[in-house]
Amino acid sequence: MTQRDVTINVPVLARVEGEGALDLRIRDGKIDELRLRIFEPPRLFEKFLEGRDHGDVLDTVARICGICPVAYQMSAAHAIEEIFGNRPGKWVREMRRVLYCGEWLESHALHIHLLAAPDFLGFPSAIHLAGKFPTEVKRGLRIQALGNSLVRLLGGRSVHPVGVRVGGFYHAPSKQAVAKVLAELHACLPEAVALVKWVGSLELPDNSHDYPYVSLRHADEYPMNEGNLVSNEGLDIPISEFEQHFAESHAPHSTALHCHLHGKPYLVGPLARVNLNMDRLPQAVLDALAETGVRFPSRNMFHSALARAVEIHYAILEAIRILEDYTMPEAPFVVATPRAGVGYGCTEAPRGILWHRWEMDEAGRVRKGTIVPPTSQNQARIEDDLRFSLTQFGLDQEDDAIRLRGETVIRNYDPCISCSTHFLKVNIDRG
Amino acid sequence: MTPGAPLRVVGVGSPFGADRVGWELVAALERRRPSPRIDYLAADRPGAALLAAIEGAERVVIIDAMRAGLEPGTVHTLDRDQLELGGGLLSSHGFGVAEALDLGAALGLLPPRVLVVGIEIGPPPSPALSGERFAGVLDEVVAVVAAETRLLP
């Protein structure tokens, strides 16, 4: 077997400020160096909000991510409401679950059809996939549009449609608007079941290995906005104790931020959620999953696409459950009285737990904010996964094949990125 | 927005600096050229949702910031197939205007005419276009929209 020295550098051009890269060096048949920098945490947003009124927080954090504005608003709202002792009540609580259903539908549909399906059906892009599987891709776009309808139900028609405020929502949708969306949900339900079957039938690599994974867990429901933090290694803590168990640090010789749980990289996201909360899924969802023959809990990261399809099915059923009993509230929000304090919010963004800590002064202005996004938390795990998976794949494979497998591994995580992405560019260091 | 108008003008952007120029132009256009024949929309990093945003229109003008190495403030109109794709995606966040339009074409979902108007914002840090430069860009874009309107049946 010829042992090659390979250096793979991934320069990434930026649509906005930011940078990202994957550096891979192989020496003597082993990975000598692997460094991933694809995400910069939103430190500028945290700094920007210091000294500002709490009313600016939700509008500002919604702009951090184009795909997950709801997640950022949910984590921040819960933290601020905790500080102010604000209890929005059952209507707000349920409608916030509807809102999250919408965001999961949008994000998961995008992932499955733009990233996972092209990979696992052997197409270089979703555009190529659409040429051969137009029915399936159009179905994905319909699911995404349905998610958008749910988000807009609770928002407005502005460029940023999310209508969340501290204490609840700016407005309550009318019964007619809810009835229209309910009809769309019912129409889409068979498509969600078909999607689970389709994704479950795809031929996938198997890179199962041991690693910790973390999600929320709630006493009664599949987790979205509330619960304790749990793991497959016995963790079970309130979200306020996050910093006692999880630590952020800069990776050596890199600007990348790594998070560790008790010193180890860990996974967050749909695979972790499904693995840790199977008993919170409705029977119909479990039945559809069972028919695929794929068993959960799974440590095969390539099953994350199926976990997303399962959550699409769940989100449609959950939104139907809540909206079928919809009544107009007396008011869509409960007025909050600002006071000083520290509060925590941790909610399940499409990509995993998004943890916030906010500190307010007595006038309700921000003293300090800390935001730990899911992609920050996954960055160390992605590196470990790449190390394992590329070694398993075979470091003596052609450079292009190594590059493609590396891209596929990264795509499983669907990382939030600070910038546009490109092909991995392969620079071969022949020494 | 007038639902169902034959010409749809979509400003695509993000909240970051000069990348807002698509939104700012659409807002200025709507003030300058309100019309029952034109829908004006702003979209924040719409990705594949751009296809839903342009569905049903006869003609579409998409306005977006671009980096093409030109003088900042240059207005460059392009047909869809002149856009450069970003290459392999590592994340669904990378699915931009070019990718969305290509996907729409592959699925037969595009309106009959889609024109892309790129506004050069220069290399990072790309300060926002303002003052006279913005006014000049707006005049050029107004002319593009007027030309598209004249071509409506």
Would you say the C-alpha torsion A130, A135, A137, A142 has a positive or negative sign?
positive
Rounded CA-CA distance B111/B105 in Å is 9
Within chain B, what is the greatest distance between any pair of CA atoms? 43
pLDDT at A11: 33
Going by C-alpha positions, the residue among A357, A368, A347 that lies closest to residue A72 is A347
What is the ipTM metric for this complex?
0.91
Write down the pLDDT at residue A158.
63
d(C-alpha A374, C-alpha A75), whole Å: 12
**Chain A interface residues facing chain B, Cβ-Cβ under 8 Å?**
14-17, 38, 63, 65-67, 106-107, 110-111, 114-115, 124-128, 130-131, 134, 137-138, 141, 144-145, 148, 157-160, 407, 410-411, 414-417, 420-424
B106 vs A130, A157, A414: nearest CB: A130
CA distance A322 to B16: 36
pTM of the entire structure? 0.92
Percent of chain B at pLDDT > 70 equals 95
For residue A148, list chain B residues with Cβ-Cβ distance below 8 A.
49, 52
Chain B residues close to A15, C-beta within 8 Å? 14, 19, 96
pLDDT by residue for chain A (431 residues), tens digit each?
344 444 433 333 232 233 346 778 888 889 988 888 777 778 888 998 999 999 999 988 988 888 889 999 999 999 999 999 999 999 999 999 999 999 999 999 999 999 899 999 999 899 999 999 999 999 999 999 999 999 999 976 566 767 899 999 999 999 999 999 999 999 999 999 999 999 999 999 999 999 999 999 999 999 999 999 999 999 999 999 999 999 998 877 666 688 999 999 999 999 999 999 999 999 999 999 999 999 999 999 999 999 999 999 999 999 999 999 999 999 999 999 999 999 999 999 999 999 999 999 999 999 999 999 999 999 999 999 999 999 999 999 988 888 888 889 989 998 887 533 332 322 223 33
Return the pLDDT at A424: 32
Say what the pLDDT of residue A251 is. Answer: 76
Nearest CA among A225, A201, A230 for reference residue A213? A230
Shortest Cα–Cα distance, A241 to chain B (Å): 31
The model's pLDDT over A100-127, given as tens digits with 9 standing for 90+, comes to 999 999 999 999 999 899 999 999 899 9
Check pLDDT > 70 for residue B87.
no
